[in-house]
Amino acid sequence: MPGHPLRHLAIIADAAAAAASASAAAPEDLVLAALNKAAEISHAAFGTIPALQAFSFHAPGLERHLDAGAAAGPVLQAWIAGARALRGAAAELGAALRLCGRVDELPDALRRAVAPEAAPHHGKSLLWFLRYGGRDEIARAAARFFRERPGAMLGDDELDAWLDTAGVPDPDLVILAGGPLEAKDALLWQASYAEIWHTPHPWSRFGFGDLRDAVAGYHERQRRFGR
């Protein structure tokens, strides 16, 4: 229906496009700028969307810098500083910061900087996806379910409770920031009925105007939820 409230906004940022447009920048500068932008945009989203309960950020292209430089001081310190920026934004917003993905594969120092928290059922959540893939998330959720409940049937309404995003409303709007308009390996289950908004602007150029346009476009659409 028109005017459906926006409770969960997810952004999938093509950080690889941002890196290509700023190839002369050091990896640590790219990482820190991208994560600071995520903190800034999440703050703007919660501040301007009254019904918003959850904001999700995923930038898989950034992780190549984590893979290549996990043991290098400047790169790892940039990740830690960016993580603290996100944690600070969450604290200012009264939200729970939650890491989603294979968190146990992160460097210890980064994991300690942002320990995963349980998202509140009544409150705000800032979700950050690292070492994450949508297909992998579904497989891990199903494996956990059958370990805990061998022989049980796994239905549509039960899988939600075993996903990394358990307890958080499904995304209403997914913004694809930068890169081509194509399917992403992210939130495959949760975003089945989400509205999609795409901008070719790389994440480094994404700003409040893009956020405003995406939200305005969302409210102009008539949602059918697969019907």
Q: Would you list the DSSP string of 109-139?
A: HHHHHT---PPPSSSEEEEEE-S--HHHHHH
Query: What domains can be seen in the chain, in order of their start residue?
Result: 8-220 (3.40.1180.10)
For each of the chain's 227 residues, which pLDDT tens digit applies?
446 899 999 999 987 655 555 556 788 899 999 999 999 999 999 999 999 999 999 998 888 888 765 556 889 999 999 999 999 999 888 898 999 999 999 988 898 888 755 555 458 999 999 999 999 999 999 999 999 999 899 988 889 999 999 999 999 999 999 988 888 999 999 999 999 999 988 899 999 999 999 999 999 988 776 66
In tens, the pLDDT along 133-152 reads 999 999 999 999 999 999 89
In tens, the pLDDT along 153-177 reads 998 888 999 999 999 999 999 999 9
